[in-house]
Structure 1
Amino acid sequence: MSSSSTQTFTVTGMTCGHCVASVTEEVSELAGVEDVAVDLATGSVTITSSTPLEDDAVRVAVEEAGYALA
């Protein structure tokens, strides 16, 4: 049984529910992602995945959504 990896990133520029949905959608498309939890108030994005994600992969997904990692 493999254990999941949980990583938390801070995303800047999110201001509303649509922002949260965009980031969630893009990050969810990364290989191995099992869950994405976005906290709009703090800008934190907690990603649970089957294996640790490369920071660059997360950065690209966040930028695709129109935002940036802090």
Structure 2
Amino acid sequence: MLSLKVSGMTCGGCINAVTRAIQTQDPAAIVQVDLATQIVTLQTSLSADEAGQLIADAGFPVSN
């Protein structure tokens, strides 16, 4: 399980965008987004770097 700090998420549309970004590369991934803490928790076969890059490419900055 991965946890990533993701900035800029404010609504359901953001949750959908982040989920789609991950599931395009890993359709079986389970994505949980907490808007209050800005934490995305993933159960995925992707590495943290791969997942972070996909989320960043969707327009949401990822920090450590």
TM-score computed with the length of structure 1 as normaliser: 0.75
Aligned counterparts of 1:31 and 1:24: Cα–Cα separation in 2: 10
Unaligned runs of 5+ residues in structure 2 are none
Contact 1:15/1:40 (8 A) holds in 2: yes
Residue 57 of structure 2 aligns with which residue? 64
Give yes or no for the alignment of 1:9 onto 2:17. no
Unaligned runs of 5+ residues in structure 1 are 1-5
Count of residue pairs the alignment pairs up:
63
Query: What percentage of aligned pairs have identical amino acids?
Result: 33
TM-score computed with the length of structure 2 as normaliser: 0.80
Which of 20, 25, 34 is the matching residue for 1:25? 20
Contact 2:21/2:58 (8 A) holds in 1: yes
Aligned counterparts of 1:23 and 1:34: Cα–Cα separation in 2: 12
Larger strand share, 1 or 2:
1
Aligned counterparts of 1:44 and 1:22: Cα–Cα separation in 2: 14
